[in-house]
Structure 1
Amino acid sequence: MALSSGSLSTRWLRTFRPVAAPRLRLVCFPHAGGTASFFRAWHQHLPADWEVSAVRYPGREERIAEPDSTSMAELAGQLADALTPCMTPRTVFFGHSMGASVAHEVAALLAGRGATGPAALLVSGRAAPHRLRRLTTGDLTDEELQAKVSQLGGPGAELLLDPELRDLVLPPIRADYRLLEAYVDGAKAPAVDVPVVAYFGEDDPGPTPDDVRAWAELTTAGCEVRGFRGDHFYLVPHEAELLRDLRERLTALG
């Protein structure tokens, strides 16, 4: 079903503050095990005529009864199908961690189809695809995976301490990590013709600053990089600061 330029809320997307005719639409892609709710307060820091939507991955929240995606190609392809009817020249993608890879793959798919792509690609807490390292988490026990996820911190990490909640939270995390392991093994690192902004936490135990700067090798439209104090989830304590930076950059797009 084709969607108008009005408010966007679908099976794949959740919109937190619908805007009838948004001047800019920000589509956010969550991290591994993450949910659309991670971005629920972002609109409060952005202009009233900007609309913020977040991707709803299967296997969690409203889609908890659906099977998790098993490959990046499957997930990115379904999202490209869902987004194509509602893309405008003023749509921007933001992805954190796994979400950065998903957003990049969707942008590349849209370009390959000759469809309208994002006006900018904002990636966070993620090495460029050709600099990714294998996670090797597929054979971890629940306790070992829990410990690994807890090291990264972030919202919801405390849920893993409750046995009943852990049974709900851990399966999508494991599914996403398996998806990422397969993706790293076969990542082709497609280039995109849109400006890229790469954000990272200066104390992130994952990607190094050089890994993040390598996004510049995957765009023909320029790449800027900014670091924030903090770990992998630097964007939680620095939410207002990050969105102020994002707002200034996107306003400059025209």
Structure 2
Amino acid sequence: MRPAAPPTNPWFPTRQANPNARLRVFCFPYAGGGASVYNGWGAALPASVELVAVQFPGRERRIMEPPFRKIPALLDALEPALAPLLDKPFIFFGYSMGTRVALALAQRWQARGAPLPLGMVMAAAGAPHRERDSRDELDDGAFVELLRKYEGTPAEVFAHKELLEMVLPVLRADFAIADAVLPALPVRCPISAFGSHEDPHVSLAELEYWRELTTTGDFRSRHFPGKHFFLRTAREPLLAALREDIVRWCPEVGP
């Protein structure tokens, strides 16, 4: 009789534990996205790397759970789930909204004197210590038009009123997190900023401000073809760049 499989942690529903891993890469999704956006990424990384995609409440398998609107409350809930997985070196990858969560975690842990990521890859987002306009006051009509401009929400969502009404609270909560301005507190780990040439929401110049958030002097800016969701349209070059950063920050994982 086979032993029962361990219960899946709702924060990491797609995680495939790798007992031989020398490094973990925690991936934080964009607004409205779930852990599934990182499906297949693990196979493109060195064999001794375990990819852990984070699932926030309010989407995919956690669709019945209320989403978080404030970063501190989200971190309070997430940290206990992360704690058992911090027994190995780790790296953060954040995409758009996910960059805010990743940086806020690193800032919180640095203040405590806790171990930090070996490096952070921040993609499709300007540096979060710079002031920006909040989208929280937009009415539903204006907010839906904003979603259309991002080109990240499936067309069928806009075509079905009931489905749109179901996902709007999650997207509004996520945009509140994405618009959060974080303290200008540099962290003691390298940062790579990934952006795209045609992203109408994040200019290549805005990527450079991430340089101000690392004390190490190790900052790189990488540019890819495509618009805001270049993780879809430039998947292979993005993963190659991520793999290069991983090996640079943690050579023992191998090529």
TM range (shorter): 0.7 to 0.9
Q: Which amino acid is 1:151 matched to?
A: K
The one of 213, 218, 228 equivalent to 1:232 is 228
Please list, as runs of the form range in 1=range in 2, the aligned pairs for 1:66-215 lying within 5 A after superposition.
Answer: 66-141=65-140, 143-154=141-152, 156=154, 158-181=156-179, 183-184=180-181, 187-215=182-210
For the 8 Å contact 2:71–2:101, the answer to whether it is kept is: yes
Q: Aligned to 1:59, what secondary structure does the other structure show? A: coil
Q: Which residue of 2 aligns with 1:223?
A: 219
| Structure-1 separation of matches of 2:102 and 2:7 | 17
| Structure-1 separation of matches of 2:154 and 2:15 | 20
Please list, as runs of the form range in 1=range in 2, the aligned pairs for 1:22-101 lying within 5 A after superposition.
Answer: 22-101=21-100
Q: Kindly indicate whether residue 248 of structure 2 is the aligned counterpart of residue 252 of structure 1.
A: yes
Q: Which is further off, 92-101 or 33-42?
A: 33-42
- In structure 2, the gaps of 5 or more residues are 1-5
Q: Aligned to 2:184, what secondary structure does the other structure show? A: coil
With the length of structure 2 as denominator, give the TM-score of the two structures: 0.87
Q: Which amino acid is 1:98 matched to?
A: M
Using a 3 Å threshold, how does the CA distance of structure 1 residues 8 and 25 change in structure 2: closer, same or farther?
Answer: farther
Q: Please report the RMSD computed on the Cα atoms of aligned residues, expressed in angstroms.
A: 2.1
Q: Aligned to 2:120, what secondary structure does the other structure show? A: strand
Q: CA deviation at 1:16?
A: 4.0
Q: Deviations over 1:157-211 (max 9, x none)?
A: 5433322322332221011123344x23xx3132110010000111111122221
Q: CA deviation at 1:108?
A: 1.2
For the 8 Å contact 1:8–1:14, the answer to whether it is kept is: no
Q: Which is further off, 78-87 or 204-213?
A: 78-87
With the length of structure 1 as denominator, give the TM-score of the two structures: 0.88
For the 8 Å contact 1:197–1:223, the answer to whether it is kept is: yes
For the 8 Å contact 2:100–2:178, the answer to whether it is kept is: no
Using a 3 Å threshold, how does the CA distance of structure 1 residues 139 and 192 change in structure 2: closer, same or farther?
Answer: same
| Structure-2 separation of matches of 1:54 and 1:74 | 19
Q: What number of residue pairs does the alignment pair up?
A: 244
Q: Which amino acid is 1:92 matched to?
A: I
Q: Deviations over 1:57-92 (max 9, x none)?
A: 111122222221121111123323332332145211
For the 8 Å contact 2:193–2:210, the answer to whether it is kept is: yes
Q: Which is further off, 105-114 or 91-100?
A: 105-114
Q: CA deviation at 1:223?
A: 0.9
Q: Which is further off, 95-104 or 47-56?
A: 47-56
| Structure-1 separation of matches of 2:231 and 2:95 | 9
For the 8 Å contact 1:126–1:200, the answer to whether it is kept is: yes
Provide the identity percentage.
Answer: 35
- In structure 1, the gaps of 5 or more residues are 1-6
Using a 3 Å threshold, how does the CA distance of structure 1 residues 15 and 111 change in structure 2: closer, same or farther?
Answer: farther
Q: Aligned to 1:150, what secondary structure does the other structure show? A: helix
Q: Which amino acid is 2:122 matched to?
A: V
Q: Aligned to 1:26, what secondary structure does the other structure show? A: strand
Using a 3 Å threshold, how does the CA distance of structure 1 residues 250 and 86 change in structure 2: closer, same or farther?
Answer: same
For the 8 Å contact 1:95–1:123, the answer to whether it is kept is: yes
| Structure-2 separation of matches of 1:84 and 1:115 | 11
| Structure-1 separation of matches of 2:129 and 2:51 | 29
Q: Aligned to 1:144, what secondary structure does the other structure show? A: helix
For the 8 Å contact 1:199–1:226, the answer to whether it is kept is: yes
Q: Which amino acid is 2:219 matched to?
A: C
